Amino acid sequence: MRVTLKPFDLNLRHLRALSAIVAHGSMSAAAQAVSLSQPALTQGLAKIERQLGATLFDRRADGVRPTPAGLVMAERTRAALDHLAETTRSGLRGGGRGFARPDLLMTGTQLHAFLNLVEAGSFSAASVRTGITQPALHRAVRDLEQLCGVALAERSGRGLVVTVAGRKLARGVRLAAAEIVAAIEEVSPDPGIGSRITIGAMPLSRALLLPTAIAALVRTEPRAAVDIREGSWRELADPLRDGAIDLMVGALRDPAPPGLHQDYLFEDRLVVVGRAGHPLASVLEPTLSDYERYDWIIGHLETPLRQHWNDLFGDAPPPAPIECGSVMVIRGILRETDLLTLLSPEQVAMEIAGGVLRQIGPPLDNGGRAIGITTRTGWRPTSVQQRFIEQLRAAVEARLRESE
C-alpha cells in the first residue's frame, strides 16, 4: 500500500458498492444495486484493491465473499458515507434547490478540494496546499454547491467566509475522511505504517497519564504516529466532533454533552495550592475562613474547577482577580504571590517535589472530579487507537496501586 494514500484518492462510488457486494455476494447484483455496470464495478474494485495493496473479496464459482479486510472496508466506508448522508439530510440543501440526495453524487475530488479550501482559508492557499490549480478548485467547489443547492463559501472583502451550510458540510466531510483513513490503516498489509492517533489533552492528563501511556504505546507500536493537541475542554470539543481529533483525555462533564461518549477512568481529588512559603503552608488543617483571607486564581466559567470553587465558598467567595485555564501560567503566578488555587496534586507534582509550591491543607472533602476519555458517539477505534486506550487504562491502574 502507498503510504501517501489519502481518503479521497479512493472512488466514493466504488466504495459505496462494497457494502452492496457484501450484502448480495454477487458482483452483478451489487452492480445493479448501485447503478453501475458489472464491468465498471469489477474494474473499480480491482483499482481499490491495488491502491490498498489488499484483497477485499475472494472470487468463487458461487459468488464473492469478503475477506477480513473487505469487511473492515465495507463497514468503515458505510459509516463514512452515512456521515455525508446525515449532513445533507439535516438541512444542508437550500430552498428546494439542488439534488434530493447530493451525497450520492459527490466525488472525492470535490470533497478534497472543499475541505482544503475550508482549512486553508482561500483558493490560493488551498492551491499551494494541494497542488491543484485555482480554476480546478473553483470548479470543484462550485459543482459541489450546485449539488447541494446552497452556497458553501462566499467572498468577504479580500477574504473568504465559509457559510453555516459550508461549516456543516465540512464537519461531515472530516468525519467521513476519518472513517476512510481508519479503514486504510486497518487493512494495510504493513501494520503500523500510517497508523495515527490524535489526542486532545486537557490540563490534568498532560501531567502524568498521557506521557506514561504514550511512552508505552511507542514501545509496542514504534511506527505509529501520535499527534497531541493541547487545550481546555471547550477548545477541544468541536475538533473532536469534527473528527480532527480522535479522543480527549481529562475531566468529564455531567451529563455527557450531546454527540459525545464518556468513559470513566478515575476520580481526581483537588487540593488547595500555594507557594512553598505561603502563610498557610504551616497550618495543618486550614479552615474555610483561613482560605477566605487570600485572593484566588480560578478557572473559567462552566469548567469543573470553577464549579468546585463555587461549591467550596458558596454565596460569599473571596476575591478572585485572575481567571486562567493554563496550569503553566498558574504555577508561575503562585510562585510570585500569596494567591491560592485549586488543582490536582499531579499537575504541580514537580514544583511540590522541588520545594517551589506546596499543598495547603488536606484534599478537599467535596473536591472530587471524574477523569476519563471522551469520544464521539459511535466512534470505533483502530487497533492502534484501541491499544493506546488500553495503555491509558494500565497507567491509571498503576497510579492507583501506587497510591494505596
The grid coordinates of residue 320 equal: 478572585
Instruction: Provide the domain count of the chain.
Output: 3
- Which residues lie below 8 Å from residue 363, measured CB to CB, with a gap of 6+? 269, 270, 271, 345
User: Among positive and negative, which fits the CA dihedral 315, 371, 376, 234?
Assistant: positive
CATH number of the domain where residue 85 is located: 1.10.10.10
Distance separating alpha carbons of residues 167 and 173, to the nearest angstrom = 10
**Domain with 119 in it:** 7-174
For residue 278, tell me if it sits in a domain: yes
Residues 30 and 124 both lie in one domain: yes
Which amino acid is it at 394? A
Q: Does one domain contain both 282 and 387?
A: no
End-of-domain residue from the set 146, 174, 202? 174
- For residues 320 and 217, state if they share a domain: no
Spatial separation of the C-alpha atoms in residues 35 and 29, rounded to whole Å: 10
- Identify the three-state secondary structure at position 319: coil
Task: Tell me whether residue 351 is in a domain.
Answer: yes
Residue 63 falls within a domain, yes or no?
Answer: yes
If the chain, 404 residues long, is cut into consecutive pieces of 10 residues, what is the mean pLDDT of each piece? 75 95 94 93 95 93 92 96 89 65 93 94 91 94 92 83 92 95 88 77 79 92 90 91 94 91 92 96 94 95 86 92 91 96 88 94 85 94 93 90 73
- Give the DSSP letter of residue 266: E
Domain end (from 142, 174, 206): 174
Confidence (pLDDT) at 229: 94
Asked if 246 and 130 sit in the same domain, the reply is no
Do 256 and 303 sit in the same domain of this protein?
A: no
Same domain as 246, residue 165: no
CATH of the domain at 309: 3.40.190.10
Does the residue 187 lie in any domain? no
How confident is the model at residue 2, as a pLDDT? 43
377 near 251, Cβ under 8 Å?
no
Are residue 165 and residue 63 in the same domain, yes or no? yes
31 and 167 in one domain?
A: yes
pTM, to two decimals: 0.82
Residues 110 and 29 in one domain: yes
Reported residue count of the chain is: 404
Residue 180 is assigned to a structural domain of this protein: no
pLDDT at 369: 83
287 DSSP 8-state letter: -
Cα–Cα dist 18/14, whole Å: 7
Please name the helix (run of DSSP H) or strand (run of DSSP E) that holds residue 227, with its range, or none.
strand 225-230
247-251 and 196-201 as β-strands: parallel, antiparallel, unpaired? parallel
- Tell me whether residue 285 is exposed, middle or buried, using C-beta atoms within 10 angstroms of its C-beta: 0 to 12, 13 to 18, 19 or more: exposed
**C-alpha torsion 262→264→267→271, nearest 10:** -30
Q: Note whether residue 181 is domain-resident.
A: no
Rounded Cα distance between 18 and 65, Å, is 11
Alpha helices (H) along 133-231:
134-148, 164-187, 203-207, 209-220
Clarify whether residues 334 and 379 are in a common domain: no
Cβ neighbors of 397 (< 8 A, separation 6 or more) are none
Choose the final residue of a domain: 174, 205, 232: 174
In a domain, 183, yes or no: no
Regarding beta strands 271-275 and 357-360, do their DSSP bridges make them parallel or antiparallel, or are they unpaired? Answer: antiparallel
| Three-point CA angle 135, 116, 145, nearest 5° | 60
Same domain? For 101 and 158 the reply is: yes
Same domain, 119 and 170: yes
- Other C-beta atoms within 10 Å of 368: how many? 14
The answer to whether residue 186 sits within a structural domain is no
pLDDT in the model for residue 1: 39
Q: What residues have CB less than 8 Å from 205, skipping those under 6 apart?
A: 249, 250, 371
Instruction: Provide the 8-state DSSP code for 365.
Output: T
CB 112 within 8 Å of CB 167? no
